[in-house]
Structure 1
Amino acid sequence: MAIRLLHPDEYDLVTRSSFDSQDTFNVDEADFVSRTPRAKSFYQGQSLLTRLISTSFVGYHRITSPARCPRTRRHRCYHRLIARRACFFLYAGLALLIAFISLTFLFWPSYTYLPPHYRSLRQAVLQLNSPGRGNPRSEKVFIAAILYDPGGTLVGGQWGTAVRDLIHLLGEENVFLSIYENGSGEEGHRALQVLNERLVCNKSIVYEERFNFTRIPKDTLPDGSQRARRIAYLAEMRNLVLEPLEEPFQPQYDRLLYLNDVMFNPIDALQLLFSTNIDQEGVAQYRAACAVDFINAFKFYDTFATRDLHGYGMGLPFFPWFTSAGSGRSRQDVLEERDAVRVRSCWGGMVAFDAKFFQDSRSSLRRARREKQFVPTLDLPPANNDPRGPIRFRAEEEMFWEASECCLIHADIQVEPTSMDEVTDGGIYLNPFVRVAYDSTTHSWLWTTRRFERLYTVAHDLATRVAGLPFQSPRRAHLSGDEVVEEVWVPDAMSSSGGTFQMLKRTATKGGFCGGRDLQVIIEDRQLGQDGWESIPPPE
């Protein structure tokens, strides 16, 4: 028999194995998992989702085929189907999650797109090179900082550079810098001297090798020991850097900027000072405006000093930070991306104040009359129950009741409402556009991590409720002057515990919402690596 040669364009259909030929291919009998080469040919060019769906339904076809899955083995086939379906939904869910995160990162980030007036100020700073270009109205700014810098790396590093740049942007003639530092050793002292030599603005830089604890009173603890209170110590140091304001012939400052030992962008400091809550004329209006500080790329740090608009404490320390307690107004402000989130108090590592609360308005008015200048009436509230003087930091005197001096200062500059739960705006704002951190690595991540923040909202609310936050303060709703009944520690030398807690009727003071049941004392002779303070638990 003659041998017939195949034409190059012809194929041997007997050996062909193609899925588009129903004569040689049975869909029900094909096993794409066990026949790897054919499975590869089948899936070639298909999307991931198509492959997942195809794999899932191939398992279904094999189960419904009696030839492939007899009754005696039907339960095994169902197990394989369940495993396949589980993998399908797992991969599909993972794909959707990745897509959702990516879309949020690209199109719905939190506090990323600056308002127009923020962009204008930023462009003015970046496009020009003249001193004072970040201070369009030439406002007078008093900058205050208390530092502990043992290695000199803070003042001699990124912090010191940022301060010098900020002063240049504000205009050296518009700035007074006041720094107080103690206990930082030789290297810290040397770095401060170098900074002092490089600055050309008016300044007061004070270094003490050891803080003089005779400046603050010591309290007698239940065990009979005499200890200095931590908050009284911090309040005293914060007041030390304000002492230049009391010197004669000081100008009237418009803003007061307090800086912690934080990494910050000088342009962010300008935005906090001049862009927060602007009015129709473009002037920032606030009693105080705080940055948001981070201890790592996700975790809000200064919960001790921060209270929401109605005096409630914080939720878990990640976005959106505040709880839904009461009206949840502060939380809603954050979710609406307001640059002026209404709060009762805050600090955030960097805070700008209306400086009129910290200066003697009478001396300013006397100087104005002497120079025949017009000065509007200054609406100064009483300072620490002294209507004649400026506001200063303070501590609670009551034993086993602690409140941050950074919270109490806000309580003192506010006009108290008739009801804590009905307040709508106290002039104290948190500005989440402005963020600082306590190390350079964390600070470098803050622009990236904010793009994911909206994803945390539901998880934050659920986790906060599970954790039972916010913790309830028994004095949250107390207003100064109210007659209240409070649990107070009453010292008693005859008692074995040094005293007892008693319910007493008395007049409430300002800042009840700031406090909680605690006692924090200074460790005066701390060792290397030891904390500078400790908490004393209340007696049982």
Structure 2
Amino acid sequence: MSAHLLPSHSPDGRFSMSVDSAEGYDMYQTEKEQPLLERVLQRLYLLLRSMRYRHGYRPLGPAFAQPRYRRVCFRLAYYVSVLLSAILLLVVLFSTCFPSYTHLPPHYLSLRERVSSSNYPGRGNPRNETVFIAASLYDPTGQLARGHWASSILQLIDLLGEDNVFLSIYENDSGDEGEAALKELDDRVPCNRSIVYEHLDIDELPKVTIPGGEERVKRITYLAETRNRALRPLDKPTTRYDKLLYLNDVAFDPVDALQLLFSTNIDDNGVAQYRAACAVDFINPFKFYDTYATRDLDGYSMGLPFFPWFSDTGNGQSRKDVIAGKDAVPVRSCWGGMVAFDAQFFQQDTRTNVEIAGDSLPARFRALRDENLFWDGSECCLIHADIQKPLHTEEGDEKNQVETGIYMNPFVRVAYDTKTLSWLWTTRRFESLYTLVHNIGDHLVGLPWFNARLGEVPGETVQDEIVVFDEKGEGSLQPIERVARHDAFCGRPGLQVVQPREEGKKGWQTIPMPT
């Protein structure tokens, strides 16, 4: 028998609906008055019941068939629909009235209008600054050199003015298709350039001895070397560059690259002031990607990887500035897929009066130099640790540092595919809704991760224990004395080494930490 609704009146005079004995439930509103979610649940319930009868199953027990249980079920569905409606309302409200990072500062709008109002080369470079663009690629399919990435690079060169740009691309072991695509791109580039494809022999790189006695190349050592090879043209001091723009294999808007270069943290004269300025990169429309290299102004690692990204641990200044919508959020390090540097830190003829936290100039990418084999850090964090303003001490106490010269610019966003990039302007409009949830989530999961070295003062001698390996690769725990370094905030426990690239495998592996 098919189910059919029969109107009835309860003893107290209220209108209700009932069905035949096979379906039987009471309701205090007509079907048309019910929320959509409740009607869907009812239809699903009827479908499941009919299937049970059709296949000879017993009906649901009498306890479930009682009206009070069904009312609870449908009332819960009603509350869920109300909650979803409230969330949708909040999204619309915040997108309309409180959008995040959508109202560009006046000088950002001015530069964008300057770009769109004409077609002459160099229109996006108002002071004709010279820019060295560097990239280290792995492009086995050739889609970077033939696709959106290459098109964006060529547009950016046009906006900067080809006479103001040097393009350096380094690629190794990407295969025949990658090499062919890179040669095609080389023919299209109108500016001075160094486009190199080669095989990098990892046996030429420094090695470490891992448990078991085998010698391997650290992943960070390899990555630092490939990034530095893209900087090799800077070793010839023939041209003085104002800016260095380092790019990952990201999808980006060329005008955003201009904003990062020339609009971040401007002074009273409208000139950008930074040692480094990073974009914000996304692996999907909501998730921040580069947590490995990013540290807030206090040196803490990231919170949950969605807006506002930083935790409130310590002073929480980076988090506060993101929530306030600032274009220059002070941090200790960042990367974000695209970074603009003050090029003086990377050139041979660097001014001698510039104070840095690192050991020497010109700066180059590197791996951590540490007695502990299982203490590692990103080369993209260490480069910022080296060129930032040093922490000063006064009477042995570490002073609170207002800024490092390193900034993150949340107005500038990139992605690792074009579809994600197309969504970023939409999702940023309501991302401020996440702030409370983000803070609660950080505390629930214990972010940021603990860094035992974060409180160390650079230059001081500290006691430590490390695992030391003998010739057989057997390890033992031994006490040591070491000098605290300025890059301690970049480190974390772990060790990754290079392995041959194979189908379905990464080009690196993690070595388990000994117990």
- TM-score relative to the length of structure 2: 0.84
**Residue correspondence of structure 1 range 159-308 to structure 2 within 5 A:** 159-208=149-198, 210-250=199-239, 252-308=240-296
For the 8 Å contact 2:152–2:254, the answer to whether it is kept is: yes
- Report the Cα offset of residue 421 of structure 1: 7.2
- Report the Cα offset of residue 379 of structure 1: 3.6
Rate the CA distance shift 1:152–1:85 in 2: closer, same or farther, 3 A. closer
C-alpha distance in structure 1 between counterparts of 2:71 and 2:194, whole Å? 76
In the alignment, what sits opposite 1:502? Answer: 478
In the alignment, what sits opposite 2:25? Answer: none
**Residue correspondence of structure 1 range 307-346 to structure 2 within 5 A:** 307-346=295-334
For the 8 Å contact 1:383–1:390, the answer to whether it is kept is: no
SS at match of 2:222: helix
**Residue correspondence of structure 1 range 35-50 to structure 2 within 5 A:** none
Cα deviation digits, residues 122-147 of structure 1 (max 9, x gap)? 11111111100100010110100000
In the alignment, what sits opposite 1:353? Answer: 341
Cα deviation digits, residues 375-402 of structure 1 (max 9, x gap)? xx6643358523xx41111111331111
C-alpha distance in structure 1 between counterparts of 2:32 and 2:419, whole Å? 43
**Residue correspondence of structure 1 range 295-444 to structure 2 within 5 A:** 295-361=283-349, 379-381=353-355, 385-386=359-360, 389-398=361-370, 399-417=373-391, 418=393, 422-444=400-422
In the alignment, what sits opposite 1:514? Answer: 490
Instruction: Give, as a single letter, the amino acid of the residue that structure 2 aligns with 1:284.
Output: A
Rate the CA distance shift 1:82–1:186 in 2: closer, same or farther, 3 A. closer
SS at match of 2:403: coil
Q: Please state if 1:31 is matched with 2:31.
A: no
C-alpha distance in structure 2 between counterparts of 1:421 and 1:506, whole Å? 22
- Report the Cα offset of residue 457 of structure 1: 1.2
- Report the Cα offset of residue 249 of structure 1: 2.0
C-alpha distance in structure 2 between counterparts of 1:47 and 1:115, whole Å? 47
Instruction: Give, as a single letter, the amino acid of the residue that structure 2 aligns with 1:127.
Output: S
C-alpha distance in structure 2 between counterparts of 1:83 and 1:220, whole Å? 62
SS at match of 1:465: helix
In the alignment, what sits opposite 1:474? Answer: 452
Instruction: Give, as a single letter, the amino acid of the residue that structure 1 aligns with 2:234.
Output: L
Q: Please state if 1:487 is matched with 2:461.
A: no
SS at match of 2:365: coil
For structure 1, list consecutive stretches of 5 or more residues without a partner in the other structure: 1-24, 36-41, 49-75, 363-376
**Residue correspondence of structure 1 range 73-222 to structure 2 within 5 A:** 86=76, 89-208=79-198, 210-222=199-211
SS at match of 1:472: coil
SS at match of 1:361: coil
Instruction: Give, as a single letter, the amino acid of the residue that structure 2 aligns with 1:396.
Output: L
- TM-score relative to the length of structure 1: 0.81
C-alpha distance in structure 1 between counterparts of 2:384 and 2:422, whole Å? 30
C-alpha distance in structure 2 between counterparts of 1:78 and 1:530, whole Å? 56
- Report the Cα offset of residue 44 of structure 1: 13
- Report the Cα offset of residue 452 of structure 1: 2.2
Rate the CA distance shift 1:46–1:412 in 2: closer, same or farther, 3 A. same
C-alpha distance in structure 1 between counterparts of 2:341 and 2:457, whole Å? 23
- Report the Cα offset of residue 361 of structure 1: 2.4
In the alignment, what sits opposite 2:41? Answer: none
> Over alpha carbons, which structure has the higher Rg?
1
- Report the Cα offset of residue 80 of structure 1: 7.5
Instruction: Give, as a single letter, the amino acid of the residue that structure 2 aligns with 1:215.
Output: E
SS at match of 2:157: helix
For the 8 Å contact 1:420–1:477, the answer to whether it is kept is: no
Q: Please state if 1:527 is matched with 2:502.
A: yes
Instruction: Give, as a single letter, the amino acid of the residue that structure 1 aligns with 2:91.
Output: I
Cα deviation digits, residues 460-510 of structure 1 (max 9, x gap)? 1111111111111111122331222233333333xx752233332221122
Q: Which moved more, 1:145-154 or 1:408-417?
A: 408-417
C-alpha distance in structure 2 between counterparts of 1:466 and 1:501, whole Å? 33
For structure 2, list consecutive stretches of 5 or more residues without a partner in the other structure: 1-8, 20-28, 36-65
- Report the Cα offset of residue 90 of structure 1: 4.0
* Percent of aligned pairs with the same amino acid: 53
For the 8 Å contact 1:321–1:331, the answer to whether it is kept is: yes
Rate the CA distance shift 1:34–1:404 in 2: closer, same or farther, 3 A. same
Cα deviation digits, residues 34-70 of structure 1 (max 9, x gap)? 69xxxxxx9999998xxxxxxxxxxxxxxxxxxxxxx
C-alpha distance in structure 2 between counterparts of 1:226 and 1:184, whole Å? 25
Rate the CA distance shift 1:405–1:84 in 2: closer, same or farther, 3 A. closer
Instruction: Give, as a single letter, the amino acid of the residue that structure 2 aligns with 1:159.
Output: W
For the 8 Å contact 1:416–1:479, the answer to whether it is kept is: no
- State how many pairs are aligned: 468
For the 8 Å contact 2:210–2:473, the answer to whether it is kept is: no
- Report the Cα offset of residue 430 of structure 1: 0.7
SS at match of 1:330: helix
Instruction: Give, as a single letter, the amino acid of the residue that structure 2 aligns with 1:168.
Output: D
Instruction: Give, as a single letter, the amino acid of the residue that structure 1 aligns with 2:474.
Output: G
For the 8 Å contact 1:479–1:512, the answer to whether it is kept is: no
- Report the Cα offset of residue 88 of structure 1: 5.1
Cα deviation digits, residues 300-319 of structure 1 (max 9, x gap)? 11111000111101111111
Instruction: Give, as a single letter, the amino acid of the residue that structure 2 aligns with 1:504.
Output: I
- Report the Cα offset of residue 408 of structure 1: 0.6
- Report the Cα offset of residue 158 of structure 1: 0.3
